[in-house]
Amino acid sequence: MKLNDNSLFRQQAYVNGNWIDADDGKTFEVTNPATNEVIGTVPDLGAAETKRAIEAANEAWPAWRAKTAAERSAILETWFNLIMENQADLAALMTLEQGKSIAESTGEVAYGASFIKWFAEECKRVYGDTIPSKNTDQRIVVTKEPIGVCAAITPWNFPNAMITRKAAPAFGAGCPMVVKPAEATPFSALALAELAERAGIPAGIFSVVTASQGKDVGEEMTTNPIVRKVTFTGSTAVGKILMKQCSSTLKKMSLELGGNAPFIVFEDADLDAAVEGLMVSKYRNSGQTCVCTNRTIVHESVYDEFAAKLAAKVGELKVGDGFEEGVNQGPLINMAAVEKVEDHISDAVEKGAKVLVGGKRHELGKTFFEPTLLANVTTDMKVTYEETFGPVAPLFSFKTEAEAIQMANDTEFGLAAYFFSRDIGRSWRVSEALEYGMVGVNSGLISTEVAPFGGVKESGLGREGSKFGLDEYLETKYICMAGVSS
């Protein structure tokens, strides 16, 4: 491992301001998905260590919430500056452990930092209300207060931004947070902790508990009565487990879960723009994002032209080690991901789909996979209703606007949706008809810290980023002040 600052490569967990090993000394290996080489090891913590981290957070909370918003904001600004000063090292760690191209890793570090910058500003604008009382003897005031000790469980696909998107509003609101990163990508989280400590985030306010599986740590986080809020980004299946576990102490939750994004190309679309939009929406992070297009639905009159244009662009994608110049398609995170992609492709082909580009494991071996484009896809195929989470673009066709909307909404998910049209009336009609938390019109890349990110139906609860993201870490208090009359 060669970084500009090697102290950012941490192989211990970070609990209550201390770098620690597991109580039983156990560790687990973290490998580079591009080479299968072991990058390093981290401690395999369990419920006992997690309990201590939660208790330390509770001890540290009063002093942190007593700081003014301006004081917390200044510390977040320092954390932001340190992250950007160390962007190259943080990106290198991410490409090593997650596999995405160094360009995408560098972009994610900046994206993750943008949440810290955003909430450093937003946290100074936590306003309340005064409400005219019906009683002259009373005054009514509404205040917003930090919810308390928070716990976060995050995924491997955005190992930096999915932490800062939670920690920044929590810290800004005056809350501590204990984070369990994905077992595949702990080093990005530990580097964030190192820089948080340097920025002045006090011991106990930010802890990172590493574990080879989420169950034990998750059970402690979701059942410990000290924890007031659990925020999770990951699969819908795990989100449901956590929600059940949180019910015993009725914790507030944010859930950013799975998706099944439709991408509709209407007959009046700018086809070149639609191809560009699909390339970024589908193949970003080798198709491993929750907002990746999962189903491309093209009007029959432009289907062949769109498919030909898209096939040409998909064929230009370069697969390889994320550190290699020009590579924009890294490896998938593990063999299970490869097997799911293969299952979706074989199921579609068996049922009549045609492979226009790719379709099989890449000649580089390991978890590298050919960017794939499928035509003649029909709704009886798995790719219709399961999230592929890989570099496969299935093309469906439709005849009418109503049919396209029906196809797009025919899923239990509701995270992101996209469509391309140059008709203003259609743009409003379709935007309003789509049952999704986020809609991209003539754009395939809509994620930003300034807008509310989140889904409806089984894609989750709550919103992250934007002014709405702070509310997830605040409670509303109504104060009735009586005895005012002399």
Ligand X SMILES: O=C(O)[C@H](O)CS(=O)(=O)O
Ligand Y SMILES: NC(=O)C1=CN([C@@H]2O[C@H](COP(=O)(O)OP(=O)(O)OC[C@H]3O[C@@H](n4cnc5c(N)ncnc54)[C@H](O)[C@@H]3O)[C@@H](O)[C@H]2O)C=CC1
Partner that binds at residue 399, options ligand Y, ligand X, none, CB closer than 5 to 8 Å by kind: none
Please confirm, yes or no, whether 256 is among the known catalytic residues.
yes
**Which of 43, 155 has the CB closer to ligand X?**
155
Question: Is residue 293 a contact point for ligand Y (CB under 6 A)?
Answer: no
Q: How far is the CB of 236 from ligand Y (least distance, A)?
A: 6
Give whichever of 239 and 359 is closer to ligand X, judged by the CB atom: 239
Tokens of 462: 């709550």
CB of 454 to ligand Y, least distance (A): 7
Q: Does 389 bind ligand Y (CB under 6 A)?
A: yes
Distance of CA 226 to the CA centre of its chain: 25
Q: Which two tokens stand for residue 15?
A: 């609990």
Give the residue among 202, 184, 4 at the shortest CA–CA distance from 87.
4
Member of 234, 262, 391, 414 binding ligand Y (CB under 6 A): 234
Q: Do residues 86 and 5 lie in contact, with contact meaning Cβ atoms separated by under 8 Å? A: yes
Task: Label residue 481 left, alpha or beta by phi (over 0 means left) and psi (-120 to 50 means alpha).
Answer: beta
Whose tokens are 């899923």? That residue is 411
The smaller minimum CB distance to ligand X, of residues 258 and 371, is found at: 258
Which residue in the list 104, 256, 401, 464 is annotated as catalytic?
Answer: 256
Q: Are 198 and 82 in contact (CB under 8 A)?
A: yes
Q: Which is nearer to ligand Y, 203 or 385 (CB)?
A: 385
Report strand pairing: 139-146 vs 474-481.
antiparallel
- Candidates 51-59, 257-265, 349-357, 373-381; binding stretch for ligand Y (CB under 6 A): 257-265
* Identity of the residue, 296 or 447, whose beta carbon is nearer to ligand X in the bound complex: 447
Q: How far is the CB of 4 from ligand Y (least distance, A)?
A: 28
Q: Is there binding between residue 259 and ligand Y (CB under 6 A)?
A: yes
The site partner of 447 among ligand X, ligand Y, none (C-beta below 5 to 8 Å per kind) is ligand X
**Minimum distance of ligand Y from residue 209's CB (angstroms):** 11
In what helix (H) or strand (E) does residue 344 lie, and over which residues does it extend?
helix 335-350
| From 197, 276, 387, 401, residue interacting with ligand Y (rule: CB under 6 A) | 387
Strand partners, 14: 19, 208
Q: What angle do CA 299, 302, 307 make, to 5 degrees?
A: 100
Min CB(168)–ligand X separation in Å: 14
Whether residue 114 contacts residue 449, with contact meaning beta carbons closer than 8 Å, is answered with yes
Amino acid type, 220: E
387 binds, among ligand X, ligand Y, none (CB under 5 to 8 A by kind): ligand Y
Neighbours of 428 (CB within 10 A): 11
Round to whole Å and give the CA distance between 2 and 233.
Answer: 30
Rule CB under 6 A: say whether 238 interacts with ligand Y. yes
Residue with tokens 């798995």: 382
Please state, in angstroms and rounded to a whole number, the distance separating the CA atoms of residues 73 and 316. 44
How many CB atoms sit inside 10 A of residue 451's CB?
Answer: 15
Q: Which of 33, 99, 218, 469 binds ligand Y (CB under 6 A)?
A: 218
By CB under 6 A, residue 241 contacts ligand Y:
yes
Compute how many residues bind ligand Y; rule: CB under 6 A.
25
Please identify, among the stretches 136-144, 251-259, 361-369, 425-433, the one whose residues bind ligand Y according to the rule CB under 6 A.
Answer: 251-259
By the 8 A CB rule, do 409 and 419 touch? no
- Segment interacting with ligand Y, rule: CB under 6 A, options 83-91, 113-121, 252-260, 321-329: 252-260
Residues noted as catalytic: 256
Binding site for ligand Y (CB under 6 A): 153-157, 180, 182-183, 214-215, 218, 233-235, 238, 241, 256-259, 290, 387, 389, 415, 460
